[in-house]
């Protein structure tokens, strides 16, 4: 697969993952909400943070591992996308506080035009669900850890669907894949969405688990690089975010290693 095609696939799969994360990014009340927000503030007080996000979108899985220095505002991301046949694309990104660098494993480090935010950080540190976005709440304690689950309303899911369609529509690439992806999501329905926050014994956010049932037409590749919509399929999708450790020198060493590599070609 050539580099341009790999990046195109990455963009489409990432769009699906962003939709999953954006569903819970959007007020405030209730004791359970307060517990989660306090746990998120604890993460923001760290200097070094390492976390992993795994997003499922149909048969595709995207795994991101991020090392971040929150004080210096630089970070490293390793990303891999898999389908039923194995890895589709992988790359590494490094943000040095001013510029973003990309290494897709084919041509070494290159400066990009992007000024992307730290991947997944808002999902871990920003809680902006409103009371009216939540139809039910479950609370449990297991082994000193709190598990708080919010079930989301259908109105919120429809709003996030429209947000995603607007994002895809704003992409002016005009490719057949982009156009077909828009139609696929336009014909999709989303149900039974829940998000679970796990708070550790120290009051710090440890995990997030988001699940949703999706029904949408399959996206089929025809000859000449064209795509058509097939029969509707229903599957469960979502993402998991896990904080691996914080305030660890391995984070600093990972970031410094990328800095040394890009400094050699500046």
CATH number at residue 121: 2.50.20
pTM of structure: 0.80
The residues near 264 (Cβ < 8 Å, ≥ 6 apart) are none
- The Cβ-side half-sphere exposure at 207, using a 13 Å CA radius, reads 14
The list of the chain residues with pLDDT below 50 reads: 1-16, 18, 22-28
Q: Which of 135, 190, 130 is nearest to 158 (CA)?
A: 190
Q: What is the pLDDT of residue 6?
A: 42
- Structural domain boundaries enclosing 40: 3-263
Q: What is the pLDDT of residue 29?
A: 58
Q: What is the pLDDT of residue 100?
A: 94
Q: What is the pLDDT of residue 189?
A: 92
Q: What is the pLDDT of residue 27?
A: 44
Q: Distance (Å, rounded) from C-alpha 116 to C-alpha 206?
A: 24
CB 31 within 8 A of CB 215: no
For 94-162, the DSSP string reads EE-SS-EEEE-SSS-EEE-S--PPPTTHHHHH-----GGGEEEEEEEEETTEEEEEEEEPHHHHHHHHH
Q: Distance (Å, rounded) from C-alpha 157 to C-alpha 152?
A: 8
Total domains present in the chain = 1
């Amino acid at each position: 697969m050539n580099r341009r095609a790999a990046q195109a696939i990455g963009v489409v799969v990432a769009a699906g993952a962003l939709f999953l994360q954006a569903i819970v990014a959007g007020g405030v009340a209730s004791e359970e909400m307060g517990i989660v927000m306090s746990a998120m503030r604890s993460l923001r007080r760290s200097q070094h943070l390492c976390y992993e996000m795994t997003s499922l979108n149909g048969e595709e899985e995207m795994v991101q591992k991020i090392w971040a220095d929150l004080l210096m505002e630089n970070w490293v991301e390793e990303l891999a996308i898999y389908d039923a046949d194995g890895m589709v694309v992988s790359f590494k990104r490094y943000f040095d506080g001013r510029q973003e660098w990309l290494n897709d494993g084919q041509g070494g480090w290159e400066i990009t035009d992007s000024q992307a935010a730290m991947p997944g950080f808002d999902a871990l540190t920003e809680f902006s669900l409103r009371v009216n976005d939540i139809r039910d709440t479950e609370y449990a304690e297991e082994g000193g850890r709190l598990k708080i689950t919010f079930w989301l309303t259908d109105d919120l899911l429809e709003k996030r669907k429209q947000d995603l369609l607007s994002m895809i529509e704003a992409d002016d690439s005009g490719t057949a894949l982009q156009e077909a992806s828009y139609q696929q999501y336009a014909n999709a329905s989303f149900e039974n969405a829940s998000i679970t926050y796990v708070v550790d014994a120290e009051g710090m956010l440890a995990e997030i688990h988001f699940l949703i049932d999706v029904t949408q037409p399959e996206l089929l590749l025809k000859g000449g690089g064209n795509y058509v919509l097939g029969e509707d399929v229903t599957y469960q999708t979502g993402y998991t975010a896990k904080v691996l450790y914080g305030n660890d020198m391995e984070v600093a060493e990972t970031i410094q290693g990328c800095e040394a590599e890009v400094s050699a070609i500046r």
